[in-house]
Structure 1
C-alpha cells in the first residue's frame, strides 16, 4: 500500500511505529509537505495518505475519509502561525507571505482575515530562505517545523496562533489534516485498504500510549527542548470525534460561503 506521510514532527507518534517495525505492515511510505501529498493523491499515485483537510473538500468524489484519525487542535496548535511585524489590524494593504507547502492553513488564514475585515496581498514563497537572505516580509504564514523554528523571531513580535484564533471564532476544534483513501484503490484492493486503515488506527493508539517517548525523540532533532515538545504534542488532536467533525464541517461551510469550494461536501467515511 502506498501511504503518504506529512514530513513534519506532528505525525511522528503515528508514523514512528510503522516505520520502525513496531507495528507490522506492508506500507510503501512517501514523505512530503501537505501540498505535495495532495497532488500525489489527486493523481492516483498514493492509495491512502495524510492530506490537507481542504483536499478532501475539493475532490470528495475521489476519496473516503478514514475514521478515527485526524490531526488538529482544540486551541493553540503552535505550528500554524501568522507572524507579523505589525498588529493584525495594521496589515491592511500590506503583503503577507504564505508558505507554498500549505493549502488548508492558507485557506484558514484567508477566512480569519475576512472575519477580521483586513485585506492584504497574498504572495507565495519560502519564508526561511527569504529571512536568511535578509528580506523581511510584512507578515508570514508559517506552518509545521518552520513555524516552531520561527515563532520567536525578533523581527516578528506579533504572533497569531491560527488554531487558537479558530477556537475564539467558533468554539470548536480545527482539523488541519485528515487521512483519506482513494475510492478506486478501495474498489481494486478492498481488504488490503481496510487492513491498512486498521494499521493506521493501531499506530495512532500506539503513539498516544508512548507520547512521552515521542517528545524525547522529537526534541533531539528540534529547536524545542523536551518540555516544549511535550507542550506541543499535548496541544494536538489525533482523534476524529463528534466535536472534530463539527469543526471540520464548520470550516467547509466557511469555505463554501466565501467561494473557496463549490459546496459543503458530505463527509463520506470508508465503508
Structure 2
C-alpha cells in the first residue's frame, strides 16, 4: 500500500503562482515532490512514478483514459504567454521547407508550433529535437523553439532573431486562450487517496489565492533567484492564467481537434474533470 502521494512539480517559474505558497509542512510525510521539466514529468506520470501534478496539456490528451484534470488549475494565456517563443532567422511566412530545432523539454508547445505552421501558415518544415541552448540550436536550423525559463533567458540576451510568441499567434488565428499545462491525477490512485487528494487540491488553490492577494513576495523571490527586472516579472505573471474554466477548456479542446487534424493525436479529446464527490465531470 502506497502511504503518500507523489506530486510532480515543473521546474519553471510559470507554475510558481500556484506552488509558491503551498504549505508542504502540514502534510508531513504524506506527500513528496518530484521536480523536473515538463517532458520528464510527462514520462514519469505515464510510467506511474508520479501520482498527480502539472504536466503538458498535450500529454494529458495522450493519456486521457488514465488521467483526470484537477479543476481551476492550469498554466494558460489568452494572447502572449511570455515564455514560449519561436526564434527565427527569417519571417515566419518564409519558413517553408526550413529546418526547425525544437526544445526537448516540451510536448504541448512543440505540437502547438506544428499546428500553427501547418494549419494556419500552410508550411511544410523539418524538425529536430535538441537540448534548449539557442546558440547551438540555431547552428543548423532556420528557427528554434524554446519554452519556460530557457525562453525568458534567451529574450534577455537580445538575440538577433525575429521572435514569435506562440500564445499570441494562437490567439490571433483562433481567438481562443491556450492551456499549456494542466494539474492532473492518475485515476488508479483515486480510491485509495481520495481524501488526501482533496486536501492537496485545496492547498494548491489556497497557495494560488495567497499569491493573487499579494504577488510581491513571489516577484521578489524570482528577482533574487532568476535575475531580471521586477517590472518584467510582474508583467509576465499578470499575463498568465492559472485557472481552468469553460474558456480555457474550450480553447484547449479546439487545440486537441487541430492536433488530431494534423495527425498529432489519434482523435479529438474531451477534458474530464475530477470532482470531490467522485462523480467526474464531462462537458
For the aligned pair, the TM-score class normalised by the smaller chain equals: over 0.9
Contact 2:98 2:141 in 1 (8 A): no
- Residue 119 of structure 1 pairs with residue 124 of structure 2: yes
Q: Which moved more, 1:201-210 or 1:245-254?
A: 201-210
Change (3 A) 1:84 1:134: closer
- The match for 2:73 among 62, 69, 74 is 69
Q: Which residue is 1:168 aligned to?
A: 172
SS at match of 2:180: strand
Change (3 A) 1:223 1:97: farther
- TM superposition score normalised by structure 2: 0.89
Whole-Å separation in 2 of the counterparts to 1:72 and 1:98: 21
Q: Which residue is 2:103 aligned to?
A: 99
SS at match of 2:100: strand
Whole-Å separation in 2 of the counterparts to 1:134 and 1:262: 32
Q: Which residue is 1:228 aligned to?
A: 232
- Residue 267 of structure 1 pairs with residue 258 of structure 2: no
Q: Which residue is 2:192 aligned to?
A: 188
SS at match of 1:220: helix
Whole-Å separation in 2 of the counterparts to 1:120 and 1:127: 19
Q: Which residue is 1:241 aligned to?
A: 245
Change (3 A) 1:124 1:197: same
Whole-Å separation in 2 of the counterparts to 1:133 and 1:54: 23
Contact 1:97 1:127 in 2 (8 A): no
1:189-225 deviation digits (Å, cap 9, x = unpaired):
2211222222222222122223222112111122421
Contact 1:70 1:175 in 2 (8 A): yes
Whole-Å separation in 2 of the counterparts to 1:212 and 1:163: 25
Query: What number of residue pairs does the alignment pair up?
Result: 268
SS at match of 1:102: coil
Deviation at 1:266, TM superposition (A): 2.4
Change (3 A) 1:200 1:20: closer
- Residue 159 of structure 1 pairs with residue 183 of structure 2: no
